[in-house]
């Protein structure tokens, strides 16, 4: 036992020498986080329920790092089921090993630790993390993820006085296991019980609609100052309209791209989307102000309770917020306004990005498309007696051996590389069917929404260019309407029902990347696929090697070593900590002497 521990320690030491010698040259700082993921009891809507907390916080803490940082997150799974943490919008350059979705990674078993390590590169902006497995996002586990610019990279606005993260999302008082059970039983989830803002229920703006004793979020601000407010829709499936009473929202960034700066009185934020607004506290503080996130495209008289209300509190405020909530758009079933608003969000092509070259120097409009995929969803269908959702007639089945791992170990039959370029015409099927991406290709994806509600689609590993959206069926002629100049680059885009959205993706990031609806219920029932991008020339430059701590499952379960929770690990851990410290000092000395 002891000698095993020692051998492991020596091995770890060697691993650390290896890691550090390469990181010495990389010279980029490491930042460490410890995430304990566990259930806690909370009553955001007045009903006690089990929610998922990170370090006992609900929502979880914000990860706030700088471009090029090496981020290390030790995730301790204290849940009673598998867990994967997904870093939504974080591009994981060259390493889908760290993406945290079931198609690429084995889940972290209950009671285990798993350490993510990735470098945040070539992106600056507002993102978030959430547990991607088993519907857990419906119980929480989410938090903000900020990537700041390095000091040498300018930002296209004056440095804001403060930085505020606001997480909005629909919420059920049933927990994720209960919701999962409904879906497995072929049932719809029904109307959510409310909308939470930063994990809290609505302010009691109306005693009929909001019961007593609900704890609400308060955002304190200083008069006259300008804040950057980063808003993320971390909910299940409801599009939300976000607004702050009497305050303009100057849109500045969306998922890592600086936008042309425009004022909005309210903005529709679809599930999985992130935006930064610059908000100047230019009101007279005669009272506090409402912050509202209300459901879109629903019967408002039925959905009144499904409204999130928080409080913007000036430090010199003279009283409580009073009166009715500020109105959102009055267009219950007309999505034209919302689509026009989405089209008005454009890229500031002269602002600099994460790299010192201007973003606009990448002229996506003049690159030839190499692959075209028309993906079409549909309302839920029954396949083999199960209620499922589909994309192009395929309902995705998660592989028992994750795709990237299956490739690494040449496991046959784990998935099929046959995702159709056009929707299947036959009966829908359940398959682990994956898109064969062309390395360095330029892929056009048309998302056609044949469902009755808004969907937002997300792709891991990339920011794509949103070049067009319109009502009706997409045709070849629709290309004539594409924005070939300043379409926004982002990772999550909405597709209105009965409409299409077209995106362009430069396939330069090797790996296996999830392409999915962010609507959690539809995702859970199979509305997703993966894009597999392989560099035909094998080297260690375009993709990082499999991490030493990779977990194994499915056909490769036999490779998984049991997690050693005996004292041996503790000794090993402390020896390795000493090793890291010693080597960090050596490394620092070396870099000073260079």
Ligand X SMILES: *[C@@H]1O[C@H](CO)[C@@H](O)[C@H](O)[C@H]1NC(C)=O
The residue from 573, 578, 585, 589 that contacts ligand X (CB under 6 A) is 573
CA distance 126 to 265: 21
- Whichever of 413 and 589 has its CB closer to ligand X, that residue is 413
Residues in a beta bridge with 502: 446, 468
Q: What does residue 116 show for φ and ψ, rounded to 5 degrees?
A: -80, 140
* 4 in contact with ligand X (CB under 6 A): no
204 lines the binding site for ligand X (CB under 6 A): no
Of residues 208 and 477, the one with the C-beta less far from ligand X: 208
Site string for ligand X, 304-323 (x = CB under 6 A): x-------------------
Closest approach of ligand X to the CB of residue 425, in Å: 11
Contact 104, 87 (CB under 8 A): no
How many angstroms separate the CA atoms of 222 and 160, rounded?
A: 12
Least Å distance between CB 32 and ligand X? 9
Residues 480-519, one symbol each (x = binds ligand X by CB under 6 A, - = not), give -----------------xx---------------------
Nearest to 71 by CA among 43, 98, 49: 98
Which CB atom, from 263 or from 315, has the smaller least distance to ligand X?
A: 263
Q: Which of 315, 350, 560, 566 binds ligand X (CB under 6 A)?
A: 350
Answer yes or no: are the C-beta atoms of 358 and 351 closer than 8 Å. Answer: yes
Q: What is the DSSP string of 497-542?
A: TTEEEEEEEE--S-EEEEEEES-HHHHHTT-EEEEEEE-SS--SSS
Among 1, 2, 185, 208, binds ligand X (CB under 6 A): 208
Residue 370 binds ligand X (CB under 6 A): no
Burial class (CB in 10 A: 0-12, 13-18, 19+), 223: middle
Residue 400 binding ligand X, by CB under 6 A? no
Expressed in angstroms, the distance from the first to the final Cα of the chain is 42
Print the binding letters for residues 60-99 with ligand X: x by CB under 6 A, - otherwise. --x-x---------x-x-----------------------
User: Under DSSP, is residue 333 helix (H, G, I), strand (E, B) or coil?
Assistant: coil
Residue with tokens 């890229």: 347
Which of 1, 425, 538, 562 binds ligand X (CB under 6 A)? It is 538
- Cα-trace Rg, the chain: 24
Among 102, 99, 311, 142, CA closest to 235: 142
When binding is defined by CB under 6 A, the residue of 43, 148, 218, 341 that contacts ligand X is 148
CB-wise, 224 or 589, nearer to ligand X? 224
Which of 193, 257, 348, 359 is in the footprint of ligand X by CB under 6 A? 348
**Residue 403: in which H helix or E strand, if any?**
helix 403-408
Among 330, 368, 425, 593, interactor with ligand X by CB under 6 A? 368
Query: Which part of the chain contacts ligand X (CB under 6 A), choosing from 82-90, 182-190, 195-203, 260-268?
Result: 260-268
Per CB under 6 A, the list member of 151, 158, 185, 301 interacting with ligand X is: 301
SS3 state of residue 63:
strand
Structure tokens at 352: 């600099």
Closer of 17 and 589 to ligand X (Cβ): 17
Provide the token pair at 548. 């030493």
**Segment near ligand X (CB under 6 A), from 3-11, 87-95, 400-408, 534-542?**
534-542
Among 102, 217, 250, 375, binds ligand X (CB under 6 A): 250
Within a 13 Å sphere around the CA of 59, how many CA atoms are in the beta-carbon half? 30
Q: Is 39 in the site for ligand X (CB under 6 A)?
A: yes
User: In terms of DSSP bridges, do strands 435-438 and 528-534 run parallel, antiparallel, or are they unpaired?
Assistant: parallel
Q: Which of residues 424-483 bind ligand X (CB under 6 A)?
A: 436, 438, 450, 452
Nearer to ligand X, 68 or 450 (CB): 450
Question: 12 in helix, strand or coil?
Answer: helix
What tokens were used for 236?
A: 């299940």
Neighbour-count burial of 384, counting CB atoms closer than 10 A to its CB (0-12 exposed, 13-18 middle, 19+ buried): exposed
Residues that bind ligand X (CB under 6 A): 34, 39, 50, 62, 64, 74, 76, 113, 146, 148, 156, 163, 165, 175, 177-178, 206, 208-209, 248, 250, 260-261, 263, 280, 282, 284, 286, 299, 301-302, 304, 324, 348, 350-351, 368, 417, 436, 438, 450, 452, 497-498, 538-540, 545, 563, 569, 573
């Amino acid at each position: 036992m002891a000698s095993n521990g020692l051998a492991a320690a020596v091995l770890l030491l060697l691993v650390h020498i290896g890691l550090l010698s390469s990181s010495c040259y990389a010279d980029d700082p490491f930042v460490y986080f410890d995430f304990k993921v566990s259930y806690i009891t909370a009553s955001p809507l007045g009903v006690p329920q089990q929610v998922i907390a990170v370090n006992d916080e609900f929502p979880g803490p914000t990860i706030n790092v700088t471009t090029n940082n090496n981020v290390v997150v030790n995730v301790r799974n204290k849940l009673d089921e598998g867990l994967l943490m997904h870093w939504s919008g974080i591009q994981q350059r060259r390493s889908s090993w760290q993406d945290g979705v079931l198609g690429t990674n084995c889940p972290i078993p209950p009671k285990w630790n798993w350490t993510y390590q990735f470098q945040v590169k070539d992106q600056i902006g507002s993102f978030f993390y959430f547990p991607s497995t088993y519907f857990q996002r419906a119980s929480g586990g989410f938090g903000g993820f900020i990537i700041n610019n390095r000091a040498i990279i300018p930002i296209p606005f004056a440095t804001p006085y403060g930085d505020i993260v606001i997480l909005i999302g629909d919420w059920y008082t049933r927990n994720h296991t209960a919701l999962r059970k409904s879906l497995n039983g072929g049932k719809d989830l029904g109307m959510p019980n409310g909308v939470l803002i930063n994990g809290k229920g609505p302010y009691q703006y109306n005693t009929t609609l909001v019961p007593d004793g609900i704890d609400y979020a308060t955002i304190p601000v200083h008069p006259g100052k300008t804040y950057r407010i980063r808003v993320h829709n971390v909910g299940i499936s409801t599009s939300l309209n976000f607004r702050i009473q009497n305050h303009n929202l100057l849109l500045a960034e969306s998922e890592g791209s600086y936008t042309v700066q425009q004022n909005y009185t309210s903005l529709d934020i679809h599930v999985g989307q992130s935006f930064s607004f610059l908000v100047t506290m230019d009101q007279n503080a005669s009272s506090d102000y409402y912050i509202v996130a209300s459901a879109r495209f629903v019967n408002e008289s039925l959905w009144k309770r499904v409204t999130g209300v928080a409080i913007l509190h000036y430090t010199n405020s003279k009283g409580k917020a009073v009166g009715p909530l500020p109105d959102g758009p009055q267009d219950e079933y007309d999505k034209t306004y919302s689509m026009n608003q989405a089209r008005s969000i454009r890229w500031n092509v002269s602002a600099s990005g994460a790299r010192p070259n201007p973003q606009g120097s990448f002229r996506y409009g003049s690159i030839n498309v190499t692959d075209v995929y028309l993906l079409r969803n549909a309302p839920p269908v029954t396949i083999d007696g199960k209620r499922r959702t589909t994309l192009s007639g395929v309902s995705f089945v998660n592989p028992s051996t994750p795709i990237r791992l299956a490739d690494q170990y040449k496991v046959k039959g784990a998935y099929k590389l046959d995702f159709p370029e056009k929707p299947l015409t036959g009966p829908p099927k359940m398959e682990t069917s994956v898109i064969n991406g062309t390395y360095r290709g330029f892929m056009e994806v048309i998302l056609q929404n044949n469902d009755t509600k808004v969907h937002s689609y997300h792709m891991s590993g990339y920011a794509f260019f949103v070049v067009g959206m319109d009502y009706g069926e997409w045709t070849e002629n629709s290309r004539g309407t594409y924005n070939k100049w300043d379409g926004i680059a982002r990772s999550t885009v909405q597709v209105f029902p009965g409409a299409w959205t077209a995106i362009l993706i430069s396939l330069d990031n090797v790996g296996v990347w999830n392409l999915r609806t962010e609507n959690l219920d539809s995702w859970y029932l199979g509305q997703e696929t993966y894009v597999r991008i392989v560099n035909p020339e094998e080297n260690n430059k375009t993709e990082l090697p499999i991490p030493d701590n990779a977990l194994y499952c499915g056909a490769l379960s036999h490779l998984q070593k049991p997690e050693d929770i005996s004292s041996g690990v503790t000794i090993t851990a402390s020896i390795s900590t000493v090793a890291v410290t010693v080597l960090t000092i050596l490394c620092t000395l070396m870099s000073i002497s260079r």
